[in-house]
Amino acid sequence: MPCRFETVRDLDTYIGEVAGLDEFKLPGPLAEYDCRNNRLALLGLYQDGFMAAVEAAIGRHGRRRVAVLLGTSTSGILQTEQAYRQRDPVSGALPDDFNYRTTHNTYSVADFVRRVFKLEGPAVVVSTACSSSAKVFAAAARMIAAGLVDAAVVGGVDSLCLTTLYGFNSLELLSPSPCRPFDAGRNGISVGEAAAFILLERPAGSLDADDVLLLGAGESSDAHHMSSPHPEGLGARKAMRAALSAAGLQCDDIDYINLHGTATPGNDAAEGRAVAALFGDRVPCSSTKGATGHTLGAAGGLEAIISALVLQQSFLPGGINTRHVDPGIPVQYLTGNREGAPRRVLSNAFGFGGTNCSLILGKAE
């Protein structure tokens, strides 16, 4: 939708705004955590029987043995942005009811989710811009492998705020129309917001055919620039290769790639080069950000869920809004859904500061 978020009237761009958050209230005992980000988090937890699944995991493993590892980039900073508008005209002080710890602080959402489930084990927020909620899978898998915990609530929550809208505007990266990843005429991102939660658990002895496995995660750094990717996608290539190696797989074992695909000219070109260098044009790929917008710190988790749906529902999603696939990017980009029986899917998430993470999910068989 055209951007009419909060008091923003001067940005010519489209956003993916979750409806009803302004009216959604946190229940009494959680009220001190009230901010847009934690409201979105709770709304996310309420979906798809997720809370019951976590309670069942707690029943199996205990409150100490279920970790909370979540990604966010801006947490509840909207609360601080609004508090700055209400500074005391004389002293400059922020309003009394502003609570930094439970809203703005980067850890707030993991603290909140830990509180929702009365968990008592390890918890942390990973905040590496737009790779945040992909990297939590790697961290959680390590904690489970090390024997620290038996399960983890992972994923990410990022919500609309002025910092990101005006920030991406300052970099001239906001698209004036719904974003068109990998289109020859792509012209920037559409900022979105999302809560994405996944319960990650050490595989049980017997698996259902519908179960989805985290087969591998790969992480790397560009060591190149704060806000532009390495032009040849060197860091991206390293992350994808590390994920393949962690999963013990070859390039030809991947059936679909969910691209980071933000729809900025530079990001898509760099990612396309990296994908082409490893996979050629043999693997169907698409970015789902045309449908969701770029949900920043929640994107890795959101796209891991889309990747899981791809495996469970046996189809390859076409990227929407893209009309003319950039002929300069030699990958097999899907603009329409395709039937198939993908068994292994790779999902990319890259971010500011040159941070890269690739996940490989597979069907239990």
Partner 1 sequence: MKLSAYLDGIGMIGPGLDSWIAARPILAGSTPYEARPIAVPAPQSLPLAERRRAGTVVKVALAAGYEAVTAGRLDARQLAAVFSSSGADGDNCDALCKTLASEDRHLSPTRFHNSVHNAPAGYWGIATGAMTPATVLCAYDGSFAAGLLEALTQVVVEGTGTLLLAYDAAYPDPLRAKRPIPSAFGIALALMPARSAQSLARIEAGPTDDTPGTLAEPGLEALRRVIPAARGLPLLQALAQACNGRVVLEYLAPLSLAVEIEACR
Q: Where are the alpha helices (DSSP H) in the chain?
A: 36-45, 50-61, 77-85, 108-116, 132-146, 162-170, 234-247, 265-279, 289-292, 299-313
x/- track of binding to partner 1 for residues 128-157 (CB under 8 A): xx-----x--xx--xx-xxxx---------
Which listed residue (35, 260, 285, 357) is catalytic?
A: 260
Half-sphere exposure of 7 (CA within 13 A, CB side): 6
Minimum CB separation of residue 52 from partner 1 in Å reads 25
x/- track of binding to partner 1 for residues 1-20 (CB under 8 A): ---------x----------
Residues 6+ apart with CB under 8 A from 181: 259, 261, 262, 263, 268, 286, 287, 289, 290, 319, 321, 322
Amino acid letter for position 62: G
* Among 291, 281, 357, 356, CA closest to 325: 281
Is 251 annotated in the active site? no
Is 130 annotated in the active site? yes
Q: Residues 13, 37, 80, 287: which binds partner 1 (CB under 8 A)? A: 80
Q: Where does this chain touch partner 1 (CB under 8 A) — which range of 91-99, 208-216, 252-260, 310-318?
A: 91-99
Question: Does residue 120 touch partner 1 according to CB under 8 A?
Answer: yes
Question: Does residue 76 touch partner 1 according to CB under 8 A?
Answer: no
Is 294 annotated in the active site? yes
Could you say which residues in the range 170-229 bind partner 1, by CB under 8 A? 170-171, 219-227
Query: Long-range contacts made by residues 163-170, C-beta under 8 angstroms, separation at least 24?
Result: 163/74, 163/77, 163/81, 164/73, 164/74, 164/191, 164/296, 165/3, 165/5, 165/8, 165/11, 165/13, 165/15, 165/191, 166/11, 169/11, 169/13
Q: Where does this chain touch partner 1 (CB under 8 A) — which range of 81-89, 183-191, 267-275, 315-323?
A: 81-89
CA-to-CA distance for 218 and 103, rounded, in angstroms? Answer: 31
Question: Does residue 117 touch partner 1 according to CB under 8 A?
Answer: no
CA-to-CA distance for 156 and 72, rounded, in angstroms? Answer: 6
Q: Residues 167, 265, 318, 330: which binds partner 1 (CB under 8 A)? A: 167
Minimum CB separation of residue 132 from partner 1 in Å reads 8
Mark residue 208 as left, alpha or beta (left: phi above 0; alpha: psi -120 to 50; beta: remaining): beta
x/- track of binding to partner 1 for residues 48-67 (CB under 8 A): ----------------x---
Q: Residues 198, 234, 270, 331: which binds partner 1 (CB under 8 A)? A: 234
Q: Which residue ranges make up the site for partner 1 (CB under 8 A)?
A: 10, 64, 73, 77, 80-81, 84-85, 87, 92-94, 98-101, 105-107, 110-111, 114, 120-129, 135, 138-139, 142-143, 145-148, 162-163, 166-171, 219-227, 234-235, 238, 242, 351-355
Q: Catalogue the active-site residues.
A: 130, 260, 294
